[in-house]
Structure 1
């Protein structure tokens, strides 16, 4: 009897354990009954908030979905601008689940990787379309913020009927999203439940809301980057050559001005020195004239001595007559005879 009681208690504890489930903070729970999403009295999907809940064991299963904002990094891809120029764009997307029931059905049981594949395809197509409408200047300036806003709105609300160019080209992303939406629509039709009308070309049809779209980095392709680098280098070298030639021209002007100033200064100095030397020579001659005018015979004697000094330097030979006037001061003086008759 005691053994049976223990067995019953164990079975009850096991049933109670399998009947309880916990939804963690940052998650939402969906209960599946025979593979169908459990609904309330209003035929709306039941979404369980964080906390402790009860389910029917062995019949109902719980699928926890992440309700937090998630980040999807996109691999850098090549895009073409309005000017037919290639750009390498690196971007990321912030998204979260807005409709857990739709998300679960569209992604085949809440597969995050499948959701990101669909989101990435749609984002790449939309970004390619938006970048094709702008030039490089518009992409790297303030127009980029508007570009990101337009892409986010297009992903959330779908492509409008005015975008004929985008609608004309059916992409793989549109086909994949259409297949996922068809599964959701088929499920709602089978359950005869009312649903809010959404654009089948939007991420809302998959139960996804794009919170933010950002471009991290814009680069040029390697071949274009090298070509632009070489062109910029050639332009800078041309500017450097122009500056050097202008500098050389200015240097020649300064050098010519300096040479002119030096020549003019030297000429002026030479002129002043000649004037001063001439005035000094004139003053010297004047002084000599004044000095020697007092005794002309003494002046003649001094001049003759100077002539003797300059003439008899070295081993010079002169042939002169003894009666030459040049040697008059070298003759012995003549004695005067005094008469005794007085």
Structure 2
């Protein structure tokens, strides 16, 4: 029971913790494993002290930083860090005031690396999460290795424009979109004119071809009619004359039509019953 609260002669470490055994303020044992490998014996009560360090992964939500990137643009970068104590002995020696002091040092180190990495990127590369950002954890671990800290991951979770430049940037983006829309409309208008001109040309060609075909068909019809009329006239001229007269009567004599001609006019030859009987 005393070992569980680090008060007995036996010190037992847990899987999610580190332990340092101090004798008169000086470290004499570093326990990083659990079970039998993480035991220390004998601890001298009231002389040996035990300090406990968290072995779990720590989350650091770094303060947003304004950084100048390639192209003289300025952005506010918000990032976070996942880190872990790798060596409790080196961690205690580097940060005697504990986690608070360590997080400040980690934020300064990682913030400097983020600024150096982001400063070489363009806006497009940054928004695409360039591969250069994937090595931030390794570079941070190299710089913090002597402090007993291992950086597991560094991620940028938010990028935004500073307030003074936000309006100007948005106006620039709107003007770019307006320029693109003007170009698209101009291309559309040009293509519309080309389509209309092509359609009108095709329509004229179709009308001309249709007129030509109709003239050919009309000529063929007139020729066929003339042939039929000639053939009919050759077989019975009187009957042909009678049909032509009937057609003339039909066209000339409508309802309430008045004609002033002599009774013996040739036009009424087939209407004169006396002459028809004589014929």
Q: Is the 8 A contact 2:12 2:39 kept in 1?
A: yes
Alpha-carbon RMSD across the aligned residues, in angstroms, is 4.0
**Cα offset, 1:106, TM superposition:** 5.3
The 1:155–1:57 alpha-carbon spacing in structure 2 relative to 1, beyond 3 Å, is: closer
Task: Specify which of 160, 163, 186 is matched with residue 220 of structure 1.
Answer: 160
Q: Partner residue of 1:80?
A: 67
**Cα offset, 1:256, TM superposition:** 3.4
Counterparts of residues 1-342 of structure 1 (less than 5 Å)? 20-25=9-14, 26-33=17-24, 36-37=25-26, 45-49=27-31, 50-58=38-46, 60-66=47-53, 68=55, 70-81=57-68, 83=70, 84=72, 85-96=74-85, 98=87, 100=89, 103-104=91-92, 107-108=95-96, 111-124=98-111, 126-127=112-113, 130-131=116-117, 134-136=120-122, 140-156=129-145, 204=146, 207-212=147-152, 214-221=154-161, 223=163, 228=169, 231-232=172-173, 234-236=175-177, 238-297=179-238, 299-328=240-269, 330=272, 332-333=274-275
**Cα offset, 1:92, TM superposition:** 0.7
The 1:152–1:279 alpha-carbon spacing in structure 2 relative to 1, beyond 3 Å, is: same
Does the residue aligned with 1:154 lie in a helix, a strand or coil?
helix
Does the residue aligned with 1:332 lie in a helix, a strand or coil?
helix
Q: Is the 8 A contact 1:96 1:208 kept in 2?
A: yes
Q: Distance in 2 between matches of 1:238 and 1:218?
A: 29
Does the residue aligned with 2:191 lie in a helix, a strand or coil?
helix
Q: Distance in 2 between matches of 1:19 and 1:301?
A: 146
Does the residue aligned with 2:45 lie in a helix, a strand or coil?
coil
In structure 2, runs of 5+ residues without a counterpart are 1-5, 32-37
Q: Distance in 1 between matches of 2:155 and 2:228?
A: 101
Q: Distance in 1 between matches of 2:8 and 2:248?
A: 149
**Cα offset, 1:303, TM superposition:** 4.0
**Cα offset, 1:24, TM superposition:** 1.8
Structure with larger Rg: 1
Q: Partner residue of 1:183?
A: none
By relative contact order (CA 8 Å, sep 6+), the higher-ranking structure is 1
Does the residue aligned with 1:29 lie in a helix, a strand or coil?
strand
Q: Is the 8 A contact 2:137 2:151 kept in 1?
A: no
The 1:270–1:325 alpha-carbon spacing in structure 2 relative to 1, beyond 3 Å, is: same
For normalisation by structure 1, the TM-score amounts to: 0.59
Q: Is the 8 A contact 2:60 2:81 kept in 1?
A: yes
